[in-house]
Every structure is written in C-alpha cells, then in structure tokens.
Amino acid sequence: MKMFSSNLKQLLEFTSGVETTYKAGKSLDQRLTGRFYTHARIGKAMAMDIAKRLGASEKLKIIDPFCGDGRLLCWLIEAMYAQGKIPSNYLQIAAWDCDQSAVDAAQKAISQKINNLNISVAHVDVQVVDSFECALNHLEYFDICVTNPPWETIKPDSRELMELEQEAKDSYVSLLREKVFLLERAYPHSKPLRKFSGWGANLARCGIEASVRLVAPRGCFAIVAPATIFGDQVSAPLRSWLFSQNTVDAIHHYPAEARLFEGVDQSAVYFVGNRDREGQKKIALDVIQHLEKEQKDSSPVLKLSLSSLEENHYAIGFGSSPEIAKAISYLSDLPKLGDYEVGANPLFKIGRELDETGIISKLSDTGSYRFIKGRQISRYSQVTGDAIFLKGSIRPPQSSDLHRLVWRDVARQSSARRVIATIIPPGVVTGNSLNVLVPREKSDALLFALLGIFNSVIFEAQVRASISTNHLSAGAIRRIRVPPLSSGMHVDRVSKLVEQQLLNPSESCLAQIDVEVARWYGLPDDVYLDLLTMLEKHSPRDVPEIKKAMALGRQTPKVDVMRIENHYAATLSELDLRICHSVPPGGNWKDIPEDIPSERIKNIRISFAKGEGSRSTYYGRLHPDRPSYTINTYFTRPGNGCHIHYDYSGKQHRTLSHREAARLQSFPDNFVFKGNKGAITTQIGNAVPPLLAFQVARHLNLVGQAVDLFAGAGGLGLGFKWAGWQTVVGNELEASFSETYRTNVHPDIVVGDITERSVKERILKQVEAVRIKGLPLCVLGGPPCQGFSTAGNKRSMEDERNWLFRDYCGLLAALKPDVFVFENVTGLLNMQGGRVFEMVKDELSKHAKRLMVWKLHSENYAIPQRRSRVIIIGDNTGRVPEAPPQMISTLSASDLVSDLPKPPSVKDALDDLPALLPGQDGGDLGYRHESITPYQALMRGEITAEQYLSKVTR
C-alpha cells in the first residue's frame, strides 16, 4: 500500500494554495484532507467518557490517527489524569496526520500537557504520515483510539477546479480515482452501498473503519463523525460491520444548531465502543440527545433495540424520543412502503422524473407540460409559484400523464414537518427536488389514502427516528412502515377525508385524517397521544385539533358494529402467499409444489427422505372439522406449525389472526391483549387456556384468594377468576404482559423479576395488606416455558430459566398457602431422564402435605386445541381430589364406553369472525353472523364458562 502516501503527495502538490470559488475560504488541499477540528464541548465530553471506561493498568497504548493539533489526545490525557487512570509503567501516545504544521502543533501541545501533569511514564510518537496507509501496518495494536477522521467525500467538482489548467484538472481527477481505488481496496466495509457517477468514497467512513481496526481485542474507541454516517443509505455496509463485529455502547448526538464545526451546517456525533470478539453483544444502544446549548441537567438518553435497528441496517435518525420509540415498537409487524412496490401485484412505483442537470436549457415560458420543484408544493396543496414549462423538444416521462403523489426531497431536521407531500395532476413534470410515487393502476382512493399516510404523525415520527440526513430519498422512504393497504374499509375512510381536504382545506379535517390513519396503523390511543409530544415540539398548532378529533371520535356512537379487538392478520411475503395457496385444509409441507423456491422446504424434504423425521405440522393448514394443534408463539408464520387459516374455499390464504389464536386458547373476545403485535403473539402462545384453568379451579373443592406468579397475560388467573377466586396480586416480568393482565384480570400486578428482593417484598407486602383471614390462599404459576419446551434440544439444568421455580418455592415458604397450582409444559416430565422432574417434586413437597401430578390435554376439556400441560397441585387442606378433573370430550375413537363428544372444531370456534386478507385489521368489520355454537357464544360473552360446560357435557 505504499502508493497511498505517493498518491496523497501528488494530490497535495496539485492543490496546494489553490482557492476555490465554490465554498469560499477553503482551499482544495483543505477539502482533500477534510479538516474539521473538534470543538471543546464535544471533545472534552468524549475524553471524559472514554476515561471512565478504563480500569487500572500497567501499560497502555493510545492513538489519534487523524490528530490535527493534538487536542483530543490532550483532553484524553487530562481526563485520565483527573480520574487516576494513567498506567503505572508505560503510556504510549501516538499521533498521526498528513499535515506537517498540524503535527508540529500536536507535538508541542502533547509534550506540554505531559510536562504540566508530570506524567513520567509517557512516550510520545508523533508522525507525518498518510494515516490510511499507516493504519494497515498497525492493525489491532492500540488499546484506545480517540479521533475525529476527515469529513469529505472524494469526488471532483467543476466549481472547485476552475483555477486549474485543463491538464492539471485531468491529472487531478485521475489521482482522485486512484485514491478512491486504494481506499476501497484497503477499507472494504466503507465502500458506499451505491455510487453516483462513479464516485462515493468518503473519508469519514474510511477513517472510522481504519480507527476501529487499529484497536486491539477488548480495546476501546471513541470517534467523532458527521451524524449522517448513522442515517444515510450509502453508509449501510459500514454500520452493519460496526455493529455486528464490534460493540457500540453509546452515540452522543449534537444538533447542527450547536454550530460545533466552523463552516459545517450539519449535526455531529461521537460514539464509543470496544472491539468485541466474543459475541457478548448488547441488546440496546444508548443514544444521548444533546441540545443546541449545553444544559446543567443531564441530557435525555434514548434506548434503541439493536435487533430493531438491524432490520434497517442500523439507520438512526436522531429525531427520536421515548414516545416515538414506543410507538414504533407497535409497528414492527406492519409492511414497509417498499413491500408494495414489488411482488406479483405491485401497487405503485417510486422514483424521480426529470434530471435537473442543465435544466435551464430545457425550459420555456410556454408549453404543454409544467415543470415544478419542491418549494412549489406544501402539505395537501395545489402547485404554486410561477409557471414554467418543458420545451416541446423535450420528451416528458410517461408518468407525467397520471395523478401522482409527490414529496419534497429536502427535509431539514429542524423543520416543523419533515414530510411535505401532496398529489399533482397530469401535465406536470417534477425535478430532482421532488420524489414521486406513481400508481400502477388508476385508483384515486388508494392514492388519496397514501397521501394521508405520508402526511401523518406516525409516518413523520418514523422519518425522524430513522433518517438523519436532510433528504428524504426514495430509498429511505421505502423503509417506512405503513398500515395494510389491503384494508378497503380504511382506504375508503381516509381517502374520503383526504379528498375533502384537497378540495376544502381545514384544520379539523387535517386532524380527522391523522386520527383515522392512527387507527389504521392500529396504534393504541394512549401511545398515539404520547406521540403528539413530537408535534408539540415541532408543530404545536396541530395538537389541539387532533386531540379534539380524538375526543369527538370517542363520543360518536357506534351502534352498528361491535369492535373485535386484536383481530389482525400478519402480512406475508410473496413466497408465503404462494405456499398458503398451495396447502389444502388438513395439509402440510408435503402438498407444496417443488417449483416453489424455498430453501427451508427443500431441507425439510431432504431430512424426510433420509428418515430423520420431519414434523407433519410444518406449513400445516388447519382442518375446519378438527381442533387446532398447539398454538405456539409463531402462529403468525406459516412454516413453524399448523397455523394457516382453515377457510380455503373462502380464499383466506393467511395465518391465524391474534383474535383467532386467542379464541383457540379460550380467551373471550372482550379480553384485550396489550403491547405490540410481536408481544401479543408471545402472550397468546405462552398462555394457559383460561377454560382449562377454570376446570382445574373448580376441581379444587375450595374458593378463596389467589396470588398469581409468572402471570403472563393471565390465562390461569382468568380461569380462577371465573371460578370465583379473588386475585390478591399478580407478578410478571414483561411490561406489556403486565398491562394485559392489569386490563383484563386484576389491577394489582407487580412488574419485575422475582429473583430480586425488592420485587418479592412488594408481593409479600400486598398480600399482607389484602389477605382475608379465614379464606383459603392459593398460589398460582409456573416458570417460563422456554427452558423446558420440547421444541428444543437444550433441556438441561444448565439453563437457568429452568430454575426460576426455586424463587417460586421461596415465596411458597413465605406465603404458606393452603394450596398451590404449579403449571408447566410436559417436557418437564422427561428432562434428563426424569431427574429434573423428581427434583422439582422434591422441592415442592416441602411446601405441601400432599402433591398431585396431573397431565392434562386441553382437547379433553371442550377446548378447540390440542395442547398438553403438567399441573402439580400442592394441597395442605386435604380437600383436593387425587384424580384430575373429569374429561368431558375426546378425540379418541376407541373411547366407546363413555361416549364422550368430540371437542369443538376450529370452524366451531372461529366461523363467526370476519374474513381477513394478509395484513388486514378486521377489528371494525363486525361479526359475520350470530353465534351458532356454544363455543362462539362463550367467546362473545353470551354465556358463562359454567353454562358452556353444561351445554357440551353429556
């Protein structure tokens, strides 16, 4: 890589002293090297941050590979000294830069700092080098790297080369191409995702990669960079490498208004992390939002899920907030806008129309096609400004003959609204400053509805959270999640309001559109109201009208349709849709044609052919006349069980909705699950069927008060509530599960881990305050299922999740209940040859005079699902029968003596629910017909659990 320094030397010879007429006051050599010296506000904070992370050491090697005048190293040394972090034996301080005058200044400043602090163990190594070349010879050498790499994109600009002769220009461009080649070969992760006219190498990206690679395993880095690195599309490969191969702990964001870098009008960040080689990854990233002026109070910290960030190549918009992050968590199962641009039936195409290069020569005062720019539109507006036209000799794009949705490309983060969109008529052509969405088929309703989505608070919030540049490119917008466009009801509602707003604009109509879009997104009212804090900061005038529209919506009587909560079907990929179409009722993966290109199905077939076995439920479709298989936590995916809707003739080619899965678990329709869709899926899949719990509770021969541990969504608790038990307190670790429990079962629930003393104390205190002397006390609950589940092979005592029952036992000892109900999956019975189960029984027997073990199958208890559970009853009263509750239904054809009826079928349970398309929310569609089976009547609250059992028991 010796060519690096030679190339840089030749470039600097060409550019030395050449002033540009573009970006006045900055010479070409300054542009080439990207000099932006770090402001004390950001540099000192970063130095303190990295020093805090250091422990006591004997030897330490630190570097700034782009040192400038050495200020970052001086601040770091100062911070280390103040915190007592100077190593005892040896401190190597390396400083590199390509600028001789900067290096001289760094040498002087660092030496002076060391002398002033009397640091005798320091050894200073300052060099004039091409840092990009030198870094390759010192990979993984240093313990700490603090730096501010250069901030320039390498590309020629005619406005910058006007002072050069043509021969010099050609040579300069040739050398630039050589530099780009060298950088991309040496730093492959920094290569842009795409190039523009062959250019795109960025010194900041390359500098970040070089700086991180200088750090040894478990070493630390702290780097200043333009904020756009963490939000633009072209930096996606670098971000993916940075987060997947290293650990980034925190990013500190400083807005452009802070003016921390002279001549630079953009926001900046510094980020800290370490070279992680052992996979000890964090699950969340701390983003610290600094204000324009430093505040006395600590800056707000936003915790972002790394798994969610990974989905969008770790793009961060730095416009987020706790309220925005919470709202976005509810959208994770929704499709992205770009999903509707591909597939067998794409709805639209997104892009740009006319390149504005040399645009003046293409325009005229008269013509047939009007030309417009971004500044000529506003939200829901007609085109404004002076009319100019394309010359007749210029062929307009085909899209210019259609109505289109357009939005401004330029979108500053400080703007009241970053998304400015409207609809333009045929006969108008747009330039680069507008992006365009062109419908594939003429559908004014869909186009109007999309405009309502684009201009909504929820769309705006996603943009602020994920796009840090001042541009809303087509690629970035494709990543924004939208509500299911297949919902004809919502398309109709929103489109009518948008059409009204385009014809007769009003603040009240704007607010109604936003509220209706929020309902289409499925965002709970409280989460949506919290989201309005974003508008209060950027566009406060809009908030009162939106709140008024929400209030009016609540007051409007809706006597025609009863809402069915959680009746939402997951979106499916094009491949999954083809699979669903190919599987008949009762069928599975064997029915899928071999020409469907699925690697997973191919592997299933190979495994089956080898005789290694393959579950018959993979890619299964429910049979209308049979109960379902076990509802697990993957029921929104077709490949992880038998989850495809039974109604083939009705063209319901989709997976079960949340409400349908909840019904098969025997949760009634008025039981509303809280949280985002992923959390709701888990709540339903992990629950104990309430109807099974009811029959267990009824069989205990006593009624009293209950403490509900590991409560989940409340399946056990609800069943006991139906049987007359009074809940004293519940406990659950997950916040969304707790909210579901609080809403449906009992308001008093302690959220937290029972392994923590404070959580146990809160539970015991609540029981002491509410317990009624003389009433029996029952403790419900079983530890989480994951460790015991037969779905995996890691069933051993090494899994700490399997031993949460010890904490359960600790509370049994403290509470001394009359009876306890310990529930778990049947995998518990044969873990490690049954040894684990014997240990569990030994522990539980210490807290009960009698111990009964029941293995119950829900299909034997009039529930439309095949599901097995182990119930261990600890009895101190002598009143609980030894035998389990009596079976009242069966799937066994050999059970001729008792002549038990079959359990309800899937159709018996679900037939009255409205039909759905993939991705559709059917909450407002209403029931298809009156309840026609006892199970439907139970689910709709028309009869009680006791009445239901009397109807189905022979």
Q: Token pair 């539980």 is at which residue?
A: 844
Tell me, letter by letter, the H, E, C secondary structure of 275-301.
CCCCCCCCCEEEEEECCCCCCCCCCCE
Q: What is the mean pLDDT of residues 293-317?
A: 80
Do residues 543 and 578 share a domain? no
Q: Rounded CA gap, 111 and 124, in Å?
A: 8
Same domain, residue pair 265 and 348:
no
Q: What is the pLDDT of residues 712-727, one digit of tens each?
A: 999 999 999 999 999 9
pLDDT digits 0-9 by tens, 851-880: 999 999 999 999 999 999 999 999 999 999
867, part of any domain: yes
Assess contact for 70 and 106: CB atoms under 8 A: yes
* 57 inside domain: yes
pLDDT band per the 50, 70, 90 thresholds, residue 455: very high
Residues 13-39: tens digit of each pLDDT: 555 555 544 444 445 455 444 455 788
CATH code assigned at 538: 3.90.220.10
CA distances from 581 to 573, 591, 601, 872, 907 (A): 12, 10, 15, 43, 19
pLDDT value at position 6? 56
Burial class (CB in 10 A: 0-12, 13-18, 19+), 613: exposed
Least confidently predicted of 24-38, 456-470, 887-901, 917-931:
24-38
Q: Above 80 in pLDDT, residue 5?
A: no
pLDDT of residue 921: 86
Q: Are residues 238 and 309 in the same domain?
A: yes
Residue 220 annotated to the active site: no
Predicted local distance difference test score (pLDDT) of residue 800: 52
Beta-bridge mates of residue 862: none
pLDDT band at residue 153 under the 50/70/90 scheme: confident
Residues 745 and 878 occupy one common structural domain: yes
Is the separation of the CB atoms in 718 and 693 below 8 Å? yes
Band of the pLDDT at 763, cuts 50, 70, 90? very high
Arithmetic mean of pLDDT, 578-596: 92
Catalytic residue among 206, 509, 785, 809: 785
394 lies in the same domain as 348 = yes
Give the span between the Cα atoms of 650 and 775, in whole angstroms: 52
pLDDT of res. 284: 82
Domain count, the chain: 4
Residues 407 and 509 in one domain: yes
User: For position 721, which CATH number holds?
Assistant: 3.40.50.150
The predicted pLDDT at position 459 comes to 96
Average pLDDT of every residue of the chain: 87
pLDDT, tens digit, for every residue of 456-499?
999 999 999 888 788 888 888 999 999 988 877 889 999 999 99
Q: Examine residue 901 and state whether it is found in any structural domain, yes or no.
A: no
Query: Residues 525, 590: one domain?
Result: no
Which structural domain range is residue 595 located in?
A: 574-664
**pTM of the predicted structure, to 2 decimals:** 0.63
Q: What distance in Å separates the CA atoms of residue 251 and residue 477, rounded to the nearest whole number?
A: 24
Report if residue 792 sits inside a domain. yes
Among residues of the chain, what percentage have pLDDT more than 70? 89
Which is higher by pLDDT, 192 or 509?
Answer: 509
- Structural contact between residues 463 and 446, judged by C-beta atoms closer than 8 angstroms: no
Residue at a domain's end among 888, 907, 926? 888
How far is it, in rounded angstroms, from Cα 385 to Cα 442? 28
Extended strands (E) in 591-722: 620-621, 642-644, 705-708
* DSSP character at residue 888: -
Q: Are 67 and 76 in contact (CB under 8 A)?
A: no
CATH number at residue 644: 3.90.120.10
pLDDT of 690 strictly over 80:
yes
Domain boundary among the residues 888, 916, 931 is at: 888
Of residues 520 and 23, more confidently modeled: 520
Residues 226-250, mean pLDDT to the nearest whole number: 90
Please state, in angstroms and rounded to a whole number, the distance separating the CA atoms of residues 766 and 707.
10
Query: For residue 239, is it within any domain?
Result: yes
pLDDT at 299: 76
Domain boundary among 318, 346, 377: 318
Place of tokens 């405009």: 451
Are 374 and 260 members of one domain? no
Asked if residue 164 belongs to a domain, the reply is no
Assess whether 254 and 370 both reside in one domain: no
Residue 460 domain-assigned? yes
| Overall average pLDDT of the 572-591 stretch | 91
* Radius of gyration (C-alpha) of the chain in whole angstroms: 33
If asked whether residues 489 and 610 sit together in one domain, one would say no
Asked whether residue 452 falls in the same domain as residue 367, the answer is yes
Give 409-419 pLDDT, tens digit per residue: 998 877 889 99
Residues 710 and 807 in one domain: yes
Half-sphere exposure of 630 (CA within 13 A, CB side): 20
Does residue 171 belong to any structural domain of this protein? no
Please state, in angstroms and rounded to a whole number, the distance separating the CA atoms of residues 554 and 552: 5
